[in-house]
Amino acid sequence: MAAPKIFISPAKYVQGADAIGELGKHVYPLGRHALVVGGNNGLQSTRAGRVLSFRENGVTQTEEVFRGESSDAEVTRLVSAAQAANCDVIIACGGGKAIDAVKATAAQLGLPCVVVPTVASNDSPCSSLSVIYNDDGTFNRLQFLGRNPDLVLVDTRIIANAPVRQLVSGMGDALATWYEADASYRSGATNVPGGAITQSALALAQLCRDTLFEFGVGAKLACERHVVTPALERVVEANTLLSGLGFESGSVALAHALSEGFSAIPEAHRHTHGELVAFCLLTQLILEARSHEEFSRVYEFCRAVGLPTTLAQVNAEPGDALRRAAAIAAEPGRPTHNLSFPVSADAIYDAMLAVDAISTL
Ligand SMILES: [Zn+2]
């Protein structure tokens, strides 16, 4: 029997300017004493609204400063902190790594998980998996948690006051969502929960892409001026909700596999996940021989919002290191092979050089 279709998502998604003032209302049904985990910025930017809304709704909290790495050691430490304080709900206030560590902590404790992203830089908040790193920051594994967050709450005023590079990085991650889901669907690949891909996931992924093309530049301008506009609202939703649902119930392909390959290039480490995914998406589109019109649309979008379109912009150059990145992406079992045709390391390497050459036209 063919795998049945599966679609997964967080139980509740809340988004809006000053939405942090509603946090207590939405947490109350999940737990009464929260462990709140974040870096100093994440804790600080959410504190006023969080504390007030908790007081209004009879929720108490213990704050715990995140130590910076989503590692097994940090998850073990957070599990102990939650047990020591007798917490019955775990909340992340911060960026990707704090969110990943909190999701893993809540899963280990079997407690409800709440995510309050303070940047819109990636598609982690809504998903049922955590990236676990070694203590030195190198990649360890993807941990499948078997459960999505119970609540994701995004305050767009907090996002508007975060660095614009974070928002643009989120657009890079979100831009790849439809192209990777579409490729995976056409090849019959399974998605993160191990099912076939629904039409719903494809439609959401397509809306994600179209939202970026329509409102991406406007959202960037709004973030630069720290104002909340309808364009910013739509792009935050695309980066956080649509991208999250799209990649998880859709699936990823070469763009994400190659971005992991870039971890072999130390100089590329200073780039965000989304920046690398954007360049790797252009590489995927070249390999897929997408039409000139479609490729140009993605390429020009990247240039318009400031996502990398050349090797120099991801601190890479032709040579052994780049070949290593391509070789990692081509390893058996990588989502590269969700494309419907065989892909070799040489083909990936050549496609990266082809992307790079476009800027010289
Ligand atoms: Zn991603």
**pLDDT confidence of 270, banded at 50, 70, 90?**
confident
Ligand 1 mean position to 205 CA, how many Å?
Answer: 13
What's the rounded mean pLDDT across residues 5-12? Answer: 97
CA of 256 to the centre of ligand 1 (A): 6
The pLDDT of 97-109, averaged and rounded, is 97
Phi-psi label, residue 18: left if phi above 0, alpha if psi -120 to 50, beta otherwise: left
CA 193 to ligand 1 center in whole angstroms:
16
Taking 90 as the threshold, does the pLDDT of residue 2 lie above it? no
Lowest mean pLDDT among 4-18, 99-113, 172-186, 258-272: 258-272
Average pLDDT of span 315-330: 95
Distance 283 CA to ligand 1 centre (A): 16
Cut 0.85: pTM above it: yes
CA 51 to centroid of ligand 1, rounded, Å: 31
The mean pLDDT of 257-281, rounded to a whole number, is 90
What pLDDT score was predicted for residue 116? 98
Ligand 1 centroid–CA 226 distance in Å is 25
* pLDDT, tens digit (0-9, with 9 covering 90-100), for 192-230: 999 999 999 999 999 999 999 999 999 999 999 999 999
pLDDT tens digits for range 121-169: 998 999 999 999 988 877 788 999 999 999 999 999 999 999 999 999 9
Task: Count CB-CB contacts under 10 A for residue 157.
Answer: 17
- List all residues 6 or more positions away from 3 whose beta carbon is below 8 Å from its beta carbon: 190, 194, 195, 196
Ligand 1 centroid vs 252 CA: distance in angstroms? Answer: 8
Q: What is the pLDDT of residues 19-66, one digit of tens each?
A: 999 999 999 999 999 999 999 999 999 999 999 999 999 999 999 999
Q: Which domains can be identified in the chain, with CATH numbers?
A: 13-160 (3.40.50.1970), 164-358 (1.20.1090.10)
- Reduced 3-state DSSP string for the chain: CCCCECCCCCCCEEEECCHHHHHHHHHCCCCCEEEEEECHHHHHHHHHHHHHHHHHHCCEEEEEECCCCCEHHHHHHHHHHHHHCCCCEEEEEECHHHHHHHHHHHHHHCCCEEEEECCCCCCCCCCCEEEEECCCCCEEEEEECCCCCCEEEEEHHHHHCCCHHHHHHHHHHHHHHHHHHHHHHHHCCCCCCCCECCHHHHHHHHHHHHHHHHHHHHHHHHHHCCCCCHHHHHHHHHHHHHHHHHHHHHCCCHHHHHHHHHHHCHHHHHCCHHHHHHHHHHHHHHHCCCCHHHHHHHHHHHHHHCCCCCCHHHCCCCCHHHHHHHHHHHCCCCHHHHCCCCCCHHHHHHHHHHHHHHCCC
> d(Cα 264, Cα 326) in Å, to the nearest integer?
10
Mean pLDDT of 158-182: 98
Looking at the chain, the whole-number percentage of residues with pLDDT higher than 70 is 100
164-187 and 243-250 are packed helices; what angle lies between their axes, rounded to 10 degrees? Answer: 30
Ligand 1 centroid – CA 161 distance (Å): 22
Mean pLDDT of 259-283: 90
* Mean pLDDT over the full length of the chain: 96
pLDDT tens-place string over residues 282-321: 999 999 999 999 999 999 999 999 999 999 999 999 999 9
Predicted confidence (pLDDT) at residue 268 exceeds the cutoff of 90: no
Residue 234 Cα to ligand 1 midpoint, Å, equals 18
